[in-house]
Structure 1
Amino acid sequence: MPRVPVHTLDTAPEQARPVLETLSKRMGKLLNIHAEMAHSPVVLGAYAGMQDAIGRQGTFDGRTREAIALAVGAADHCDYCQSAHTAGGKAAGLDPERMLAIRAGRPSGDAKLDSLLAVMREAATEVGTVGDDTWQQAQAAGWSDEQLAEGFAHLAVNLFTNYFNHYVGTELDLPPAPTLPA
């Protein structure tokens, strides 16, 4: 059960409405996570600002962004984000088996991507710390210093949403992500 009620566009604080309208149009509906963030325009604004910076200045394609979100969501045990990014991954062209592998931390069939995801998983589970071996494997796979630094922005926005969902108890309003095999 959510700790804060889910706003509608009509009940949200006036300051949050323009951002909610933009997110609602982008997502095709007002998602519970955004409707709960609207209780604090600073939370909604921080999220939207990170997403805007990634959208304007980021270099990763949609598949890579969604793969990072899936890996971090799984590392953080965020069912909501795994569900949202399973839908996003499908829209970005990731096939279902690859998304399951990414969420499970198994090889996805793309060694370069897997090396980046190893950095993201390790940072998510080790409070930002990444071992030299993991970092160097990503560099050896072809990820530049710029890209590895950019990865932190993707990690941060995903940690932000994962933790927010845990913090307020966001209820799932999307199709659930497939269950990971044992």
Structure 2
Amino acid sequence: MTRIPVHTVADAPEGGRDALKALEARFGKVLNIHGAMAHAPVVLQAYAALQEVIGAHGTYDARTREAIALVVGNVDRCTYCQSAHTAGARAAGWSTEETVAIRDGSYAGDARLAALLTLVRESAGGLGAVDDATWRAALEAGWSDAELTEASVHIALNLFTNHFNHLVETDLDVPRAPGL
């Protein structure tokens, strides 16, 4: 059971209502993660701000963003995020089998993306550090150094949500991802 209240738009603290209303419109309902984040408006506002900046300035497409989220969720063993992003990945065009392969590190459908996901997995599990060989392999696969640098904000966003879910024990309100 979630350790904190999961708010609706109607009962959320004032500082989080607008962001929660926007997330409700985007997802069709208030997800438990968002309703729980609203309990401390700074948390919900920080999440919304990162999402907004990525939307305005990020260069990764939806499939790549969801693949990164699946990798980070797997590294962090976040059931909520792996489940939510499996649904997001399916909506972005990934098959269920591909989402499992992305999560477990066996995805090999696109060498360029696989190189990025290897870098993401290593960074997420290594406190941000990656080996020079991993960085070079991603460059050789066709990623620019700016694109690889951008990965850090996607990793950070997903670490943020994973750690939030672990901290407050967010109840799962989306279909459980296969294999969890």
* TM-score > 0.5 by shorter chain: yes
Q: What's the TM-score, normalizing by structure 1?
A: 0.97
1:80 equivalent in structure 2: 80
SS at 2:176 equivalent: coil
Determine the C-alpha separation between the residues in 2 that align with 1:111 and 1:101. Answer: 14
Query: TM-score scaled by structure 2?
Result: 0.98
Read off the aligned partner of 1:86 and give its amino acid letter: T
Q: Distance in 2 between matches of 1:14 and 1:107?
A: 43
SS at match of 2:106: coil
CA distance in 2, matches of 1:82, 1:18: 26
Match of 1:176 in 2: 176
Aligned to 2:91: 91
Paired AA for residue 105 in structure 2: G
Alignment of 1:1-182 (within 5 A): 1-179=1-179
The alignment-based identity, stated in percent, is 58
Tell me, in whole angstroms, the C-alpha distance in 2 between the residues paired with 1:97 and 1:15.
40
Return the letter of the residue paired with 1:144: S
Task: Give structure 2 stretches of 5+ with no counterpart.
Answer: none
C-alpha root-mean-square deviation of aligned residues, in Å? 0.8
Runs of 4+ in structure 1 deviating by more than 4 angstroms, as ranges, are none
Amino acid at match of 1:56: A
SS at match of 2:12: coil
Query: SS state of the match for residue 152, structure 1?
Result: helix
- Structure 1: any 5+ residue segments left out of the alignment? none
Shift of residue 107, structure 1, vs aligned partner: 2.6
Provide, for residues 85-137 of structure 1, a one-character-per-residue CA deviation record: whole Å limited to 9, x for no partner: 01100110111111110001113311110100111111111111111111111
Report the AA paired with residue 60 of structure 1.
Answer: Y
Aligned length, in residue pairs: 180
Amino acid at match of 1:19: A
CA distance, structure 1, for counterparts of residue 36 and residue 107 of structure 2: 35
